[in-house]
Amino acid sequence: MSRIGKKPIAVPAGVEVKIDGHTVTVKGPKGTLSRKLNPAIDVKVEDGQVNVIRPNDEKESRSLHGLCRTLVNNMVVGVTQGFEKKLEIQGVGYNAQMQGRNLKLSLGFSHPVIITPPEGITLSTPSSVIIVVSGADKEMVGQVASEIRNWRRPEPYKGKGIRYSGEHVRRKAGKTGARSKTGGRKICVKMQAEQLLFAATCVFARRLPVLLIVRV
């Protein structure tokens, strides 16, 4: 991570970066973000660039160096371009629609699920099965998307539920699929057993017909 930390962060036009002790505030077209960084890491703004400096080359300092640089860079990208997370809904009768700023989900419960986004987060539904979470704060965007997904996680048998766009859901065969894999073998074994039982019954019937009639 130290190699990442050494890279300077370019400050685009229209973005203002202020440093107050260990608190970094970034203001841009999409809003204002503020974060307090680890006291062991220094941040300086020089010649239109943000430089993150570590005190020494110890392992912990190198890790913090790369982490703090990534956090500041995400703030700069967030106030200029923003972040978004897409969710997909799969399942008969499952859908999403907007009610003002709120998101209404129909997920098979006895009641609809109403989600109110926190400040700085925007929810949209380009279609009834697509949900887009957008905002300047990358962590908050991911957190809100995760909370929406948790209302109906994709189940492993039919894949119904809410999933991230491009997410691969591991599927399970289920009882029907498990039978189909070994069904042919089981049928053959069962037929052989029935044939042996029938043959034994025939032999026994020839020898003791009276006993069989009494048992029937």
Is 2-80's fold the same as 83-164's? Answer: yes
- DSSP string of 136-202, one letter each residue: S-HHHHHHHHHHHHHTSPPPTTT--EEEETTPPPPP--HHHHHHHHHHHHHHHHHHHHHHHHHHHHH
- What is the model's pTM? 0.75
Please give the span between the terminal C-alpha atoms of the chain, in angstroms, as a whole number: 83
| 92 pLDDT higher than 80 | yes
**109-128 confidence digits (pLDDT tens):** 999 999 999 999 999 999 99
**Where do the structural domains in the chain lie, given as residue ranges?**
2-80, 83-164, 175-215
Q: Is the distance from CB of 105 to CB of 151 less than 8 angstroms? A: yes
pLDDT value, residue 213: 43
Average pLDDT over residues 67-72: 92
pLDDT value, residue 103: 96
**Sorting pLDDT into bands at 50, 70 and 90, what band is 83?**
very high
- DSSP string of 38-69, one letter each residue: PTT-EEEEETTEEEEE-SS-SHHHHHHHHHHH
| 43 pLDDT higher than 80 | yes
Higher pLDDT, 189 or 137: 137
Q: What is the identity of the amino acid at 50? A: V
pLDDT value, residue 211: 43
Higher pLDDT, 25 or 209: 25
Higher pLDDT, 89 or 214: 89
83-164 is a CATH 3.40.50.12160 domain: no
| 198 pLDDT higher than 80 | no
| Nearest-5° Cα angle at 65, 19 to 68 | 45
CA nearest to 73, candidates 131, 118, 120, 6: 6
Which CATH class, in words, describes the domain spanning 2-80? alpha beta
- Residue 215: its H or E element: helix 209-215
Distance of CA 27 to the CA centre of its chain: 29
Average pLDDT over residues 125-137: 95
pLDDT value, residue 184: 53
Query: Who contacts 1 (Cβ-Cβ below 8 Å, separation ≥6)?
Result: 62, 63, 65, 66, 67
